[in-house]
Structure 1
């Protein structure tokens, strides 16, 4: 029967799985498959696996329980293998790579930062700083400008928004980088202009969080910084 794989850990890692449910309805029973110095936490894979809230929560709960006791390679939701033997084969064939990755993530956690900006406040800043943009806007408001002026202004504002947000993203990441071991940028969605994951050593966690808070205060209420964590190190596996 197919198995659902949650995480890879060292075989010496505590595996306190009592009281946790696996994915599926009814929930799968959690167990481990071991090969040499590595173990994988697995359960039976449901036939109709989908990213439902209950199953996502069950997957995350396993990661959080394991990471409380040491270093984990958390797999993304939905990873399955044909059977236990297939899991053992992967552990054996990639043993060196998994072991090295566990070593590199030792003592670390992940934080994810997103940033968005108030559009009206940003537009006011651009109009205040740019004589050309301000002139175009005044012509449009007065009704004396030609039909192409709104498009011209829109294009100029869009370029300035992109330039300002690029500079701001760079500044934010550089401010936090000195307190992290690694980072992974992802494509922002919605109104966000920044989406980045940081690999943070636990010994620097308090300072990292404090610095992010100080940065948010410094940048002001028009900028929305949202920090999530500590998280399993999904982005760095």
Structure 2
């Protein structure tokens, strides 16, 4: 449902939405419907979040078909400023404290209230199922970065590296040192990736669902875990245990609890052929 804010789609996302709102003509009639900034969707009946929204706007609820969306008037210019990112998160925290929530990412807009209500009505079954799938759950994200300092032990355990190190020591030159350095760096990353797989293998059984994110040569682990709220402490203990076990290869960090961004899709899949 990603589309320019001038269409009937209620969920306009990211930079497309920002441009559409930021470039409204100066002569736009004062009576034209205002675009809405959408924070998240919850079951109907929650209290209106007390936190101020993006750009300090008051937050309100719009309800339809047993669902409600927390919204505010979209600002004339929308930028990912720290205070607005924090405001977005604060509204979601208020909603999550009352029950399950389908969080929208920053800068999701709906062109008009009637379009949003229409979409809530059309997607009510799917959205309700999504809400039930995260009821009583939180998201924790675990990241792992390479620890570069264990190369001496790595050289002792790796026959090829040991041979290359001995050869470089006997005939030291610039190219030999470069080759040795590159080989060690590759080995360190390989060991860190192996440790990352061990972390996933140990943590995934504790979660309801697991989603792995993008990685690179330095951050070799990025995974989000959907947990029952009561399992959070046990999960953190398991992360700490893995941090002790692989701390010479992989530095672990945990972020959360977070709204369940990685485990919900507010838009139903489009059937094949449409």
**TM-score above 0.5, yes or no:** yes
Give runs of aligned pairs for residues 208-219 of structure 1, distance below 5 A.
208-219=235-246
Secondary structure of 1:42's counterpart equals strand
* Greater Cα offset, 184-193 or 208-217: 184-193
Secondary structure of 2:225's counterpart equals strand
Give the structure-1-normalised TM-score.
Answer: 0.89
Q: 1:127 aligns with which of 155, 171, 195?
A: 155
Give runs of aligned pairs for residues 1-237 of structure 1, distance below 5 A.
1-12=34-45, 14-18=46-50, 20-24=51-55, 27-121=56-150, 123-144=151-172, 147=175, 149-150=176-177, 152-154=179-181, 156-188=183-215, 191-220=218-247, 223-237=250-264
- After superposition, the Cα gap between the structure-2 partners of 1:146 and 1:190, relative to the gap in structure 1 and judged at 3 Å, is closer
Cα deviation for residue 95 of structure 1 reads 1.2
The answer (yes or no) to whether the contact 1:3–1:82 under 8 Å persists in 2 is yes
Cα distance in 1 for residues equivalent to 2:172 and 2:146:
31
Give the structure-2-normalised TM-score.
Answer: 0.78
The answer (yes or no) to whether the contact 2:188–2:249 under 8 Å persists in 1 is no
Cα distance in 2 for residues equivalent to 1:29 and 1:190:
43
The answer (yes or no) to whether the contact 2:42–2:67 under 8 Å persists in 1 is yes
The answer (yes or no) to whether the contact 2:137–2:228 under 8 Å persists in 1 is yes
Unpaired segments of 5 or more residues in structure 2? 1-33, 265-274
Cα distance in 2 for residues equivalent to 1:167 and 1:222:
9
Which deviations, in whole Å up to 9, do the C-alpha atoms of 1:133-153 show, x marking residues without a partner?
122123224435694x45644
Secondary structure of 2:70's counterpart equals strand
Cα deviation for residue 157 of structure 1 reads 3.5
- After superposition, the Cα gap between the structure-2 partners of 1:146 and 1:206, relative to the gap in structure 1 and judged at 3 Å, is closer
Cα deviation for residue 235 of structure 1 reads 0.9
State how many pairs are aligned. Answer: 231
Cα deviation for residue 16 of structure 1 reads 4.2
Unpaired segments of 5 or more residues in structure 1? none
The answer (yes or no) to whether the contact 1:184–1:197 under 8 Å persists in 2 is yes
